[in-house]
Amino acid sequence: MNIQPALHRTRFRSKAVAGLTALLLPLAALVGLASPAEAAASATATYAKTSDWGTGFEGKWTVKNTGTTTLSSWTVEWDFPSGTAVTSGWDADITGSANHWTAKNKSWNGTLAPGASVSFGFNGTGSGAPSGCKLNGASCDGGPTVPGDNPPSAPGTPTASNITNNSVTLSWAAATDDKGIKNYDVLRGGTKVATVTGTAYTDSGLTAGTDYSYTVQARDSADQTGPVSGARAVRTTGGGGTDPGPGGKVKLGYFTEWGVYGRNYHVKNLDTSGSAAKITHINYAFGNVTGGKCTIGDSYADYEKAYTADQSVDGVADTWDQPLRGSFNQLRKLKAKYPHIKVLWSFGGWTWSGGFGQAVQNPTAFAQSCYDLVEDPRWADVFDGIDLDWEYPNACGLTCDTSGPAAFKNMMQAMRAKFGSNNLVTAAVTADASTGGKIEKADYAGAAQYMDWFNVMTYDFFGAFAAQGPTAPHSPLTSYPGIPQQGFNSADAIAKFKAQGVPANKLLLGIGFYGRGWTGVTQDAPGGSATGAAPGTYEAGIEDYKVLKNTCPPTGTIAGTAYAKCGSNWWSYDTPATIATKTAWAKQQGLGGAFFWDFTGDTSNGELVTAVKNGIG
């Protein structure tokens, strides 16, 4: 708004001139409206309340010539709600009829050259705001504070395609506006790089192997800009960057939504521990699967929890009215600090896998529901894909599924069709390689063509869920004499997936950042009997590595996994040394990388994440 200093009125001055200003004319004496001298698109009228003293107020309108020819006269009309009225005015002839008010230029201020503006003011009573503004018979088109013309909506979050070493094609859903969209500004990293009339743009001249972030903003016919769209992260190909491409290795960790409660583990911990710089991907666990759809798991932890400055990744506290809070907003901030990180939203898990059976009865509708949730405009820029943790297709977990061997493949095919080639589509899968076991129950090879990778859950093979033992490492790399169950080890699981036809580079080796243990054990070596689960901080039979490394240090190693006996308690868990062994094996097997469950089990300085990074490279 262009305010003319010479026309500025203080509250004291405005009241003083009230007695010198002609009384408002009745309807019979209204001055006839002049014919529009300019189309509304070439002139604007903006309103501001400049003073308010309780029993009255001062208002000001500013008329600006935004066209290329001289404006010879102007007339501004607006409505006030009942109880609000103009009592006196200056620098315009103001008349009123009921709740409708009209201001016409004086003889000396009606002519406006291109770019020039003029203001007039008035005193009023009441507290209402003007609405239905018209300038020379058409919309005032003056911006979001001007009645009569709303700014455009936000366009859809851009999608990216045809990504090369130095270019990317962006497209987006159109914005809406009550007067029509004029064009779109394309912003790269918050800086405008182009203005286009359509809903697509190819950005070129980029650097290979580099992360970029794109948003789009619409302009209406009056050049008002609306809110920016959600952001789309893009990484150009080539350049030898850190994001896994052909030949790259995945280093992925699970972040649990419930960790923000009793464990007091937040997204900021990924930064302060040094882990964020050493990983490539985060799986956010979990969204629910119920009613045939992907649904929110914990809305408070996900996007409602307000973070204080000391808890926040960037040291900035959440405000009560910001559109996105919680872990989703903190992940957004983490990605801004570490642009190489990609985040996937994981759905299902042990507790919430029971809903997959119903969901896969209509894979297309299920995929649509997941896409709509993951790509919700509030957080679409946070997520780079979806991970499905179905435990287990056509087999038993917490519940038993009878969807058939093709259900998993059909689900992943529908997900890829919906999410497209620019999103990651992955799954956590069983590591049961026993004869007739869970790997044989589903068509994983058929699904592989639609997927980026499988997180093979090569942990939890053994534990105090068999309360009497025998004791055994819960994440053995290989078989060993006396192993309680044939096929329950990492090497056999990976071999079985390969034999089924899943490419090695689409298999990630799973590593647990926790131990499983028994109590009532007298034998130091594996294979001893027990009386039940060893005490754990959050759950009997389970304890974090960060605790066990100090309370029960390893006393031996078997099948590539450490074990420890402390008093009558017996634990098995991975250490930096055993992770080095496992990751070296994974590289020798040509696997796509490694993943781990979960960040909260690691030390405050990220010992285990460091070991994964050093081992996978």
Residue 567, phi then psi, degrees to nearest 5 = 65, -125
Phi/psi class of residue 119: alpha, beta or left (left: φ > 0; alpha: ψ in -120 to 50)? beta
Give the N- to C-terminal CA distance of the chain in Å, as an integer.
56
Contact 537, 514 (CB under 8 A): no
Phi/psi class of residue 521: alpha, beta or left (left: φ > 0; alpha: ψ in -120 to 50)? beta
Contact 438, 500 (CB under 8 A): no
Question: What are residue 295's DSSP bridge partners?
Answer: 288
**Residue 146 half-sphere exposure toward CB, CA atoms < 13 A:** 25
Tell me the two tokens of residue 146. Answer: 């001007």
Tell me the two tokens of residue 211. Answer: 């992360």
**CB within 8 Å of 32: residues ≥ 6 apart:** none
Contact 556, 589 (CB under 8 A): no
Tell me the two tokens of residue 295. Answer: 């649904």
Choose among 404, 281, 295, 402: nearest CA to 344: 281
Residue 545, phi then psi, degrees to nearest 5 = -55, -40
Q: What is the dihedral of CA 11, 64, 86, 134, to 10 degrees?
A: -160
Distance CA 76, CA 131 (A): 12
Beta strand 211-220 pairing with 200-204: unpaired
Q: How far is CA 430 from CA 90, 288, 490, 517, 585, in A?
A: 79, 19, 11, 21, 19
**Residue 481 half-sphere exposure toward CB, CA atoms < 13 A:** 1
Q: What is the DSSP letter of 535?
A: P
Strands (E), 27-130: 43-52, 57-65, 75-79, 85-90, 93-97, 100-104, 117-125
**CB within 8 Å of 396: residues ≥ 6 apart:** none
Distance CA 124, CA 59 (A): 7
Distance CA 396, CA 412 (A): 20
Contact 185, 192 (CB under 8 A): yes
Contact 157, 229 (CB under 8 A): yes
Contact 63, 134 (CB under 8 A): no
Contact 76, 134 (CB under 8 A): yes
Q: Which residue in the list 38, 77, 391, 543 is annotated as catalytic? A: 391
Distance CA 609, CA 579 (A): 10
Angle at 562 between CA 559 and CA 568, to 5 degrees: 120
Choose among 46, 48, 50, 47: nearest CA to 11: 50
| Residue 440: active-site member | no
Contact 578, 476 (CB under 8 A): no
User: Which sequence positions are flagged as catalytic?
Assistant: 391
